[in-house]
Amino acid sequence: MTIIELIKQPWPWYVAGPIIGLMVPTLLIFGNKTFGISSSLRHVCAACLPAKIPFFQYDWKKEIWNLFFVFGVFLGGIVTAFYFKNDAAVVVDPQLITELSAYGIVDFSGLVPSEIFSWASLATPRGFILMVIGGFLVGFGTRYAGGCTSGHAIMGLSNLQLPSLIATISFMAGGFIMANLILPFILSL
C-alpha cells in the first residue's frame, strides 16, 4: 500500500486525536494564539455588518490570523477532495443505518446526508429546520457559550479551565437531547 492510499483510508481516532491536540501547542508556540474557531464568525460580523452593536466594535484586523486559519480549513477540504478522497461510504454502527433508513436516509457516501443537506431540500420542513435553524443555533450558541468544540472542549480543557468543562458538558447534553429526543421528530416531518 502506498502512502497516498494509506492517507486515503479513514484515520483511526488514535491518529487523528493527537494531531488535533497538537494544534494547541503549535498555535501557542508559532504565534502566541489560543486555539479557537468560532470567534472567526464574530470577526466576519465585525468586518461586514457591525451596525453600531458594541459587541462588534473592535479592531477585527488584529485578529485576522483567525480568518486565515478558517480559510485554511476550507482549503483543506478542497485539498482532501482532490487528492485524498475515499469513495467508500462511511462505516457506521448498523443500528444507526437501520434507524436512519426509517426516515429515508440511505445515502452514506457524503459527509452529510444528501437527502437533507441540498438546495432542493431547503424548501422542505426538515431541510429548512436542520440547515437554517441548526446553523443559526451553532452561531448563536457558540458565541453565547464563549467558544466551540475547539475553544472550550480542546483548548479550554487542555488548560484545565472549569468553565470550559461546564461548557463541554452542556454541548454534549444539548447534543444528546437533540439527537435522541428531538431529531427523530424533525426527520419524520
- Give, as ranges, the residues between 2 and 41 that touch other proteins (CB under 8 A): 7, 10-11, 13-41
> 88, 102, 172, 189: which one contacts other proteins (CB under 8 A)?
172
Asked if 171 contacts 149 with a C-beta cutoff of 8 angstroms, the reply is yes
Q: Which of 23, 15, 74 lies closest to 44 in space, CA to CA?
A: 74
In single-letter form, the type of residue at position 139 comes to G
Cβ distance to other proteins smaller for residue 102 or 172: 172
Residue 80 and residue 181: Cα distance in Å, rounded?
34
What would the grid cell of residue 159 be? 488548560
Cβ distance to other proteins smaller for residue 104 or 176: 176
Q: How far is the CB of 103 from other proteins (least distance, A)?
A: 11
Asked if 50 contacts 56 with a C-beta cutoff of 8 angstroms, the reply is yes
Q: How far is the CB of 125 from other proteins (least distance, A)?
A: 13
28 by Cβ neighbours in 10 Å (0-12 / 13-18 / 19+) ranks as middle
Q: How far is the CB of 41 from other proteins (least distance, A)?
A: 4
Q: How far is the CB of 104 from other proteins (least distance, A)?
A: 15
Q: How far is the CB of 2 from other proteins (least distance, A)?
A: 16
DSSP 12: P
Max CA pair span of the chain:
57
Q: Is residue 185 a contact point for other proteins (CB under 8 A)?
A: no
Residue 24 and residue 108: Cα distance in Å, rounded?
32
* Contact string 120-159 vs other proteins (x = CB under 8 A): -xx------xxxxxxxxxxxxxxxxxxxxxx-xxxxxxxx
Q: How far is the CB of 40 from other proteins (least distance, A)?
A: 7
> 1, 3, 123, 162: which one contacts other proteins (CB under 8 A)?
162
- Site residues for other proteins, 58-117, by CB under 8 A, read 58-59, 62-66, 68-81, 84, 90, 92-93, 95-96, 99-100, 108, 110-113, 117
User: What sign does the CA torsion over 168, 187, 38, 154 have?
Assistant: positive
- Applying CB under 8 A, the site for other proteins has a residue count of 136
